[in-house]
Structure 1
Amino acid sequence: MELRDVRRLTGVEITPYDISGGSPGQHLGLPSATATLIVDLADGLVLGTEGRSETDTFRCCLAGMHLRPVTIHHDGSQVGVQVSLSPAAVRALFGLPVGELANGTSELAQIDTDIARRLHDQLAQAHPDDRAAVCAGALVDIASDAAPFDDAHAAWEYLARRRGDVTVAELVEQSGWSARYLTRLFTAEFGIGPKQAARLMRFDAARAGLEAGRAAVDVAADCGYADQSHMSREFTDLTGLSPRSLLRRRAEEFG
Structure 2
Amino acid sequence: MELRDVRRLNGTTITPYRILGATPGTHLGLPSPTTTLVIDLGTGLVLSTRESEPRTFRVSVGGMHLAPVTVHHDGTQVGVFLSLSPGAVRALFGVRPGDVCAQNFELADMAPRLARRLYDELGAVAPDRRGDVCARVIDERLGAAGTPPADPDAQRAWQLLGAARGRLTVSRLVELSGWSARKLTALFTAEYGVGPKQAARLFRFDHARRRLDAGEPIAEIATACGYSDQAHLTREFTAFTGLPPRSLLTARANEFAGAAAP
Give the TM interval when normalised to the shorter protein: over 0.9
Shift of 1:39: 0.5
Taking the aligned partners of 1:208 and 1:9, their CA distance within structure 2 comes to: 21
**Cα displacement string for residues 223-253 of structure 1 (whole angstroms, at most 9, x for unaligned residues):** 1111111001100111110101111111222
* DSSP-derived class of the 1:159 partner: helix
Shift of 1:148: 3.3
Contact 1:8 1:147 in 2 (8 A): no
* DSSP-derived class of the 2:254 partner: helix
Shift of 1:150: 2.1
Instruction: Name 1:184's counterpart in structure 2.
Output: 186
Instruction: Name 1:32's counterpart in structure 2.
Output: 32
Taking the aligned partners of 1:163 and 1:139, their CA distance within structure 2 comes to: 27
Q: Which is bigger in relative contact order (C-alpha 8 A, separation at least 6)?
A: 2
1:235 matched to 2:201 = no
Shift of 1:51: 3.7
Taking the aligned partners of 2:180 and 2:66, their CA distance within structure 1 comes to: 25
Of 167, 170, 173, the residue aligned with 2:169 is 167
Report the RMSD for the aligned CA atoms in angstroms: 1.4
Paired residues in the alignment total 254
Any unmatched runs of 5+ in structure 1?
Answer: none
Contact 2:166 2:204 in 1 (8 A): yes
1:88 matched to 2:87 = yes
* DSSP-derived class of the 1:3 partner: coil
Instruction: Name 1:133's counterpart in structure 2.
Output: 132
User: Which residues in structure 2 correspond to 1:31-180 (within 5 Å)?
Assistant: 31-52=31-52, 54-144=53-143, 147-180=149-182
**Cα displacement string for residues 77-113 of structure 1 (whole angstroms, at most 9, x for unaligned residues):** 1111110011111011111101011111111011111
AA aligned opposite 2:31: P
* DSSP-derived class of the 1:253 partner: coil
* DSSP-derived class of the 2:16 partner: strand
**Cα displacement string for residues 36-91 of structure 1 (whole angstroms, at most 9, x for unaligned residues):** 00000011111111143x21111101111111111111111111111001111101
Taking the aligned partners of 2:215 and 2:12, their CA distance within structure 1 comes to: 24
Taking the aligned partners of 1:177 and 1:6, their CA distance within structure 2 comes to: 33
Taking the aligned partners of 1:152 and 1:171, their CA distance within structure 2 comes to: 10
**Cα displacement string for residues 103-137 of structure 1 (whole angstroms, at most 9, x for unaligned residues):** 11111011111111111111111210111111112
User: Which residues in structure 2 correspond to 1:178-217 (within 5 Å)?
Assistant: 178-217=180-219
Any unmatched runs of 5+ in structure 2?
Answer: 258-262
Q: Give the structure-1-normalised TM-score.
A: 0.96
Shift of 1:186: 0.6
**Cα displacement string for residues 165-185 of structure 1 (whole angstroms, at most 9, x for unaligned residues):** 111111111111110111100
Q: Give the structure-2-normalised TM-score.
A: 0.93
Moved segments of 4+, more than 4 Å: none
Shift of 1:4: 2.2
Q: Percent sequence identity over matched residues?
A: 57
Structure 1 pair 203–254 and aligned structure 2 pair: CA distance change class (3 A): farther
* DSSP-derived class of the 1:241 partner: coil
